[in-house]
């Protein structure tokens, strides 16, 4: 940890907010530490962009929107034009530009013009290498950095970006720095500076600590947790195990069929040695997938209260503490 790090010393705090339990805990950590709410903003990268939903939970963007509203903080969305599907199907072209919401309501645009013309036609692979696990780099990391770099409001000020990676989830995450200079930083610029640090305050937290802070703030979490998921990733996250894919098949069979047919078309599976059809067929779906939860998770409007009312009793969701192999990222 940088000895000079002072949590209170920043002008802005960006919480990289997926809608999952760990980014929720990151945000609540800031409240616990008396960071002024008017300096905090949530940022959410939309995996599927603004077109048809292909890979992520339909409800996730509006869950994030309603969460921000419940706490009175702004939320800004970023995405790659065409999203996951557009990048997957890219043929002899540049990757599409990134788009980002700005404070004045306008939508910024950057990137997508340089580099070689290439063809993707391959699902991201389960790897630490972000060149082949391209969903993380192309749809999240680069989109977020582009949005910071291309907005003048981050010039000549100090911004802390918080993200919720936890070491318990993988050996790779356990090695992430708790504090470091963010890749969007520009401290020695000729015309302006851009001071951007990255902080992972819950890297060493246990899952129990995460649920404890969520319970203390009485948060209703993303519906996937109540159906049995332990992690709120994309609905068809490449790191999913057979039970997750079998569960996703119960919820969205048409989308799974499309992904299975694309695996065949590309001649390249998501998992190295097994195809998605076998994963779906051999997995056991979670037994908490009710019609109500399924409908909520696959709708675009989140119509429940984020904070429980005084009449409601907070309960641990079915997916809490479920130990399943997810691969590593
Ligand atoms: S949640 Fe999974 S599929 Fe989605 S971007 Fe992350 S690694 Fe890729």
How much distance in Å is there from the Cα of 135 to the middle of ligand 1?
A: 6
Positive/negative CA dihedral, 142, 143, 144, 146: positive
- Binding site membership of 223 for ligand 1 (Cβ less than 6 Å): no
CB 161 within 8 A of CB 197: yes
Q: Among the atoms of ligand 1, which is closest to the Cα of residue 329? A: 7
| Ligand 1 mean position, distance from CA 232 (Å) | 10
How far apart, in whole angstroms, are the C-alpha atoms of residue 314 and residue 305?
A: 12
User: Tokens at residue 241, please?
Assistant: 């195990």
The pTM is what?
0.96
Q: Are 27 and 19 in contact (CB under 8 A)?
A: no
The rounded Å distance from CA 134 to ligand 1 centre is 9
Instruction: Decide: 232 in ligand 1 pocket, CB within 6 A.
Output: no
List the beta bridge partners of residue 198. 161, 180
Q: Where does 8-221 sit in CATH, by number?
A: 3.40.50.620
Task: Please state the atom number of ligand 1 nearest to the C-alpha of residue 124.
Answer: 8
Domain spans of the chain, in order of start: 8-221
Pick from 144, 164, 233, 248 the residue to mutate for probing ligand 1's pocket: most ligand atoms within 8 Å of its CB.
233
Contact 225, 214 (CB under 8 A): no
The tens digit of pLDDT for each residue in 79-134 reads 999 999 999 999 999 999 999 999 999 999 998 877 889 999 999 999 989 999 99
pLDDT band at 51 (very low <50, low <70, confident <90, very high): confident
Alpha-carbon gap, residue 84 to 90, rounded angstroms: 10
Report the nearest atom of ligand 1 relative to the CA of 236: 3
Q: How far is the CA of 84 from the centre of ligand 1 (A)?
A: 10
So what's the pLDDT on residue 5?
Answer: 86
Mean residue pLDDT of the chain comes to 95
| Mean pLDDT across 45-74 | 97
- Residue linked to tokens 């990757």: 95
Residue 237 CA to ligand 1 centre (angstroms) = 5
Task: Answer yes or no: is the C-beta of 47 below 6 A from any ligand 1 atom.
Answer: yes
Residue 4 is predicted with a pLDDT of 73
Place of tokens 């010039």: 155
What is the length of the chain?
A: 329
CA 190 to ligand 1 center in whole angstroms: 37
- Residue 248 Cα to ligand 1 middle (Å): 15
Q: Residue 322: pLDDT band by 50, 70, 90 thresholds?
A: very high
Q: Is the CB of residue 127 below 6 angstroms from any atom belonging to ligand 1?
A: no
Does the beta carbon of 143 sit less than 6 angstroms from any atom of ligand 1?
no
- Mean pLDDT value of segment 285-302: 98
Mean pLDDT of all residues in 232-239: 96
Better-predicted residue by pLDDT, 326 or 162: 162
């Amino acid at each position: 940890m940088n000895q000079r790090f002072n949590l209170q010393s920043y002008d802005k705090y960006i919480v990289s907010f997926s809608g999952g339990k760990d980014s929720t805990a990151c945000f609540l950590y800031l409240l616990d530490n008396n960071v002024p709410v008017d300096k905090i903003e949530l940022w959410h990268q939309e995996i599927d962009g603004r077109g048809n939903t292909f890979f992520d939970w339909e409800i996730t963007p509006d869950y994030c929107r309603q969460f921000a509203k419940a706490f009175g903080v702004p939320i800004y969305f970023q995405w790659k034009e065409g999203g996951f599907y557009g990048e997957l199907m890219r043929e002899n072209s540049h990757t599409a530009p990134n788009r980002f919401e700005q404070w004045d309501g306008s939508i910024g645009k950057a990137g997508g013009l340089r580099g070689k013309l290439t063809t993707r036609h391959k699902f991201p692979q389960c790897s630490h290498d972000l060149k082949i696990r391209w969903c993380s780099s192309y749809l999240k990391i680069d989109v977020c950095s582009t949005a910071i770099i291309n907005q003048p409001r981050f010039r000549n000020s100090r911004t802390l970006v918080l993200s919720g990676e936890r070491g318990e989830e993988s050996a790779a995450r356990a090695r992430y720095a708790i504090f470091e200079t963010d890749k969007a930083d520009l401290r020695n610029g000729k015309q302006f500076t851009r001071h951007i640090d990255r902080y992972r305050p819950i890297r060493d937290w246990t899952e129990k600590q995460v649920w404890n802070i969520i319970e203390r703030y009485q948060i209703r979490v993303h519906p996937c947790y109540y159906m049995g998921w332990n992690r709120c990733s994309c609905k068809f996250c490449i790191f999913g195990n057979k039970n997750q894919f079998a569960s996703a098949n119960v919820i969205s069979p048409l989308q799974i069929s499309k992904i299975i047919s694309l695996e065949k078309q590309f001649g390249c599976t998501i998992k190295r040695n097994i195809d998605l059809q076998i994963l779906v067929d051999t997995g056991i779906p979670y037994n908490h997938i009710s019609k109500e939860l399924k409908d909520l998770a696959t709708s675009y409007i989140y119509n429940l209260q984020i904070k429980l009312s005084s009449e409601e009793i907070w309960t641990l969701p079915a997916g809490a503490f479920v130990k399943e192999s997810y691969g590593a990222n």
